[in-house]
Amino acid sequence: MIDDTRLIELINISKSFGDTHVLKNINLYIRRKEFVTLLGPSGCGKTTMLRIIGGFESADEGQLIFDGKDLSSVPPYKRRVNTVFQKYALFTHMNVFDNVAFGLKLKKPEELLPGEKKPTRRQIKEEIKRRVMRMLKLVKMDAYAKRGVDQLSGGQQQRIAIARALVNEPEVLLLDEPLGALDLKLRREMQLELKSMQQQLGITFIYVTHDQEEALTMSDTIVVLNAGEIQQIGDGKSIYDEPNNAFVANFIGDSNILEAVMVKDYEVFAAGRSFECVDEGFAENEPVDMVVRPEDIMLVGEDVGMLTGEVKSVLFKGVHYEMFVEAAGIRWKVHSTTMYPVGSRVGLTVVPSNIHIMHKMADEDAYVGVPIQKSEAGQ
Amino acid sequence: MKRSYFSGPYALWMILFTIFPIVFVGLYAITVRNETANSLYAGLKNISEIFANKGTYMKVLWRSITLAFECTLICLFLGYPCAYFLASKEFAKYKTLFVLILLPMWMNFLLRTYASMGLLERNGIINTIVTSLGFERLDLIGTRGAVLYGMIYNYLPFMVLPIHTSLKKMDRRVIEAAQDLGANPLRVFYKVTLPLSVPGIISGITMVFMPSVTTFAISGLLGSGNFMLIGDVIEAQFMQANNWNFGSALSLFMTALILLSIGLLNRLDAGKNSERSEKW
């Protein structure tokens, strides 16, 4: 499905607004027909990155390569890229049809009708109508062609914004948190629809979001950003299972992150005891961050666990219970389908392959907001 | 206590300073004073007077309307680019420029018009420069152009302000969306910026056309009395001829005309909106 050719390349891209470094030396390539998600908290630079690709901002340093050519000085209206804006930015003075037809009406006749020698006005009009209606059908809005856009609901406006961009058959579609304003149910529906549209049309999607679940659902590749720097690039599974650092582990999914020491290969010391693990290649006694996902902790009888603790709180989350268990001076978040009442003594167990060891982050700033637990014996 | 009580003072104000005067103007307009008998009687003589008199008043009215029309048109063509640049990203940081546009409005308009006289007079500043350069003295004051200039000078800010506001509050993303869809800067302007600023243009036109069609004093001072406008005639009826009845009839007629033109303008605006649901 995904081509191996690099369609877009960002080389050493940096950007500042005043004193704030929004992007610091970004290097990234995006392949043809890939669904790439730029994921990160607000202010991490993801939207700026998208706007640089769209041509609405220019990078202070670095190169933007599109299909082998430097795109840095090409204005937005000449780029083969279309954008779905965060708040849709529909043309309120036009109806749905005219909104979607906007881009097509600006195309040269020979682009619209490559077969015709000298297409008449009528032919052009018919062709535009055909393409617009086909696109409106794809987003299930063909019944609304003559409506004013301000008469539409948020979800409908969203579909029009997507149709308006896609009808131009761009090589790349940029989406800036397009589902942010929709309610959860509609959002999930649209996620699946967007994904199937992308596969059906074979267009490269670059999608910006701060919602990790959305990223995991749709993407071929996720780029995790924080404070203007790329933290990790990979598919959803590898980012979830093998986070590069504490920031990624915290941002993608729930996790227990604690300071630990890598005693030697396959042995880590944390929370007052040694754990067997599957990681290797660290220096002896190297301080590391250790992550255990809440669903990977098994609650067992008091005497048979690796650690013993007391259940401090229980929340019912629908599919599972979320419990906080205090053991060895650490509050462990545990997800389990079996409920243990508050105050009961339990044992905690984790299998070696579910313990993930990460290098300490080089940049102290990157730890801001990441709840890392210090274990007494960790240091 | 009922919330509507708070509107009391405003209602009183409206009754005293809007409703009453209009009623009085109406009453004056349909009554005729018989000088010899010193009595009043109702009649439409004042109204018919407007159309009689070999069309003198109609000529003045026509002159007022054409001058106001020209003034509005020129204000639009001068004011739109001005508002556009002031609202643009590059100029937005120069707040002083905006203040400079507004600054003349802080002064009394008669003062401004007297100052304009000083510019345009036979021995005024412009002619001093022109003659010192060796050219012939220009006849500026007392011309139609001078009156038009005075009106434009006075009313231009009323065109700039509403257009500036409508451009300023326009969502930048909409402009970006148009660029994104392949529109070059010129097309972005014609297809998006201009249509979205139509409300500003309409209120600019209203705010310039209305005062300029009823303008007075400017024509007297800069036109040297050669270009009587309907505002001057009305003023003269009250101040010199002491014929309040005819003056009232004229201003009632004027008010009706203005209401009619606003109605037309609004219909034009509304028509634009309903049109989009029908056309493809």
Residue type, A235: D
- Is the CB of B182 less than 8 angstroms away from the CB of A93? no
The C-alpha atoms of residue A149 and residue A60 are separated, in whole angstroms, by 37
- Is the CB of B184 less than 8 angstroms away from the CB of A77? yes
Sort out which chain B residues have CB atoms less than 8 A from A107's CB and list them: 182
What pLDDT is stored for residue B245 in this prediction? 86
Residue A180, chain B, CB below 8 Å: the answer is no
| Domains in chain B: boundaries | 1-43, 46-275
Query: Using one digit for the tens of pLDDT, what is the confidence trace for A160-190?
Result: 999 999 999 899 999 999 988 788 888 888 8
- Is the CB of A75 less than 8 angstroms away from the CB of B192? no
Select the residue from B93, B179, B181 to test the A interface by mutation, using most A Cβ atoms within 10 A.
B181
ipTM: 0.82
Gap between the terminal Cα atoms of chain B: 53
What number of other Cβ atoms are within 10 A of residue A40's Cβ?
28
Query: Using one digit for the tens of pLDDT, what is the confidence trace for A127-145?
Result: 999 999 999 998 889 999 9
Sort out which chain A residues have CB atoms less than 8 A from B184's CB and list them: 75, 77
Nearest to A360 by CA among A338, A378, A337: A378
Determine how β-strand A229-234 pairs with β-strand A221-226: antiparallel
Q: Which two tokens stand for residue A32?
A: 């043809």
What pLDDT is stored for residue B37 in this prediction? 65
Q: Which two tokens stand for residue A221?
A: 């590749």
Low-confidence ranges of chain B (pLDDT < 50): 274-280
> Spelled out in words, what is the top-level CATH class assigned to the domain A6-238?
alpha beta
Q: Give the nearest partner residue to B174 out of A91, A146, A148, using CB atoms.
A: A91
CB B102 within 8 A of CB B243: no
The CATH architecture of the domain made up of A253-373 is: Beta Barrel (2.40)
Low-confidence ranges of chain A (pLDDT < 50): 377-379
Closest chain B C-alpha to A215 CA, distance in angstroms? 24
What pLDDT is stored for residue A366 in this prediction? 66
The C-alpha atoms of residue B55 and residue A1 are separated, in whole angstroms, by 83
Q: Which helix (H) or strand (E) holds A84?
A: strand A81-84
| Domains in chain A: boundaries | 6-238, 253-373
What pLDDT is stored for residue A356 in this prediction? 92
Sort out which chain B residues have CB atoms less than 8 A from A90's CB and list them: 174, 177
What pLDDT is stored for residue A220 in this prediction? 93
What pLDDT is stored for residue B278 in this prediction? 39
CB B254 within 8 A of CB B234: yes
Fold of B46-275: MetI-like fold (1.10.3720)
The C-alpha atoms of residue B31 and residue A209 are separated, in whole angstroms, by 74
CB A272 within 8 A of CB A258: no
What pLDDT is stored for residue A183 in this prediction? 84
Q: Which helix (H) or strand (E) holds B22?
A: helix B20-29
Nearest to A79 by CA among A13, A144, A174, A200: A174
The C-alpha atoms of residue B34 and residue B28 are separated, in whole angstroms, by 13
- Structure letter (DSSP) for residue B2: -
Query: Using one digit for the tens of pLDDT, what is the confidence trace for A200-259?
Result: 888 999 999 999 999 999 999 999 999 899 999 999 999 998 898 889 998 888 889 988
Beta-bridge mates of residue A205? A35, A173
Residues 234-293 of A with CB under 8 A from B: none
Q: Which residue of B has its CA nearest to A104?
A: B181
pTM given for the model = 0.80
Residue A48, chain B, CB below 8 Å: the answer is no
The C-alpha atoms of residue B248 and residue B28 are separated, in whole angstroms, by 6
- Structure letter (DSSP) for residue A219: -
The C-alpha atoms of residue A202 and residue A196 are separated, in whole angstroms, by 10
Q: Which residue of B has its CA nearest to A173?
A: B180
Determine how β-strand A221-226 pairs with β-strand A69-70: unpaired
